[in-house]
Chains A and B, each alone.
Chain A
Amino acid sequence: MLHALLLAAEEGGAEEAASNPILPTMNELFWGAIAFGVMYFLLAYVLLPPVQRARNDRAATIQANKDAAESARAKAVSATAEVSDQLAGVRAETVTMLEQARAEAEAERQRLVSRADREVQAMKDLVESEIATEREEALATMRPQVADLAVGAASKMTGRQVDLAAVRPLVDRYLDNPN
C-alpha cells in the first residue's frame, strides 16, 4: 500500500515536473539554437554586409555631393572676393585719377591766377608809372607858376619885391613835401 502510494506520488511528481511551464524543453532549445545560429550567420556574413555597403555608398554619395557643394560655394566665395578686390582696385584707381585731376586742375588754376596776378601787377605798375610820370610832368609844369604866384602873393603882402630865385628852393621843397 505504502509502496503504491509512493509510486503514485512519484508519478504525480514526475508528471508535474514534465509539465512545469517554466523549465525549457530540449526540442525548443534545439530549434531556438538552430534558428538563432542561422540568423546570426546570415546577418553577419550574407545579409547585413550588402545593406551596410548600400548605406556606406549612400553616405559617400551624400558626402561627395556635400563636398562638391562646399567646393562650389568656396569657388563662389573666392570669385566674389576676386570681384570685390577688382572693384576695390578700380575704386582706388578712380580715386587716384580724381585726385590727380583735381591736383592738376588746382595747379592750372594757380598758374592762371598767378599769371593774372602778374598781368594785373604789371598793368598796375604801368598805370602807377604813368600816373607818376603825369604827376611829375604836372608838377614840373605847375612849379614855375606856383613860384610866380607865391612870389607875387608874397610881394603884395609884404609890399616888397620878393626875389624869385631866393624863394624857388622853398617853393620846390614845399611842392616836393606839401605836408
Chain B
Amino acid sequence: MIGLEYPPIENLVEWPNYFGGDSFWALNKIGLISLLAMAIPAAVFLFSKKELVPRGMQNMAESTVEFVENQVILPAIGRDGLRYLPLLLSLFLFVFIGNLFEVIPTFQMPANARMANPMLLALIVWVVFIAVGVKHHGLTYFKDIVWPPGVPVGLRWFVGLIELITVFFIRPFSLAVRLFANMLAGHILLVTFGVLCIAVFTAGLIIVLLPLTFGMLVALTAFEIFVSFLQAFVFALLTAVYIDSSLHPAH
C-alpha cells in the first residue's frame, strides 16, 4: 500500500565534496559543519559585550562558561581543573554545535554522525589525559596503572591489565563510539520518520497517518536537540573525569 523506499546508509551520511576533488583538504558538508561549529561560538564570544550586567550574547557566552565550570569542571575535578576550561569549553561547544546541525534545515546532518570528529576529539582527549598524568606524576603514572597500589599482590597483575586496557584503549574508543553511535542513530531515526512522512503523504494517507508520523518526527526532532546537548555534556564531563583520574590516579 505504501511504496516505502529507504535510502542506503551511505546516502544518509556521506556527502559530495564542494571542492578539492579527492584530496585530503576536500571540503564536504561535514567539514563545513565543523567550520561552522567553530565559527558560531567564536562569533558569539567575539561579539558579546563585556558589561557589568550581561545581556544577549554576553549572557549566552558567560552562561556557557559558567555551565562548563559549575557542571563539568568543579564536580569532576575541583578548582584545580579550572585551568582546563578552554579545552573543556572548546570540546563542549564544538560537539554541541556540531550535533545541533542535525536539526538545522538544509544541513540536517550532525557532524558527529561521522566518525572523523568523534575519533579526532577522543584522540585529543586521550593525549591530553596521558600528558596530564605524565606531567604531574612522571612515569609513576604508567606504573600505578599497570601495577596499581593498594591491590592484593596476587590480583595486581590482573587488575593492572584491566586498567591498562581500560585507560589506554577503551576510554578513547568508548568516548568516540558513544558520541558517534548516538548521533548516527538519532540521524537515522529522523531520516526514517522523514521518509515515512513522505511515503504516507505520497500514498494519500494524510488524514490518517501523517499526523502520527509528522508528530513523531517533530517530537524526535526535539528529542535530538536534547540528545545533542546531552552528548556534548557527557563528552566534556568524561574528559574532565579522565583528566581528574590523571591528576589523582590513586583515587
Contact = CB atoms under 8 A, between A and B. Distances in A.
Contact of A25 (B46, B94, B116): B116
Contacts of B86: 40, 43-44, 48
Contact of B120 (A29, A44, A52): A29
B55 interface: no
A48 B89 contact: yes
Contact of A32 (B20, B23, B25, B34): B34
A177 interface: no
Interface stretch (B6-14, B71-79, B165-173): B6-14
A40 B17 contact: no
B37 interface: yes
Given A47-B46, A48-B65, A51-B65, A36 B34 contact: yes
Q: Is the interface of B mostly helix, strand, loop or mixed?
A: helix
B50 interface: yes
A30 interface: yes
Contact of B10 (A21, A30, A44, A48): A21
Interface residues of A, number: 34
A43 B89 contact: yes
B31 A32 contact: yes
A28 B61 contact: no
Interface in A27-65: 27-36, 38-40, 42-44, 47-48, 50-55, 57-58, 61
Given A19-B10, A40-B90, A52-B65, A28 B35 contact: no
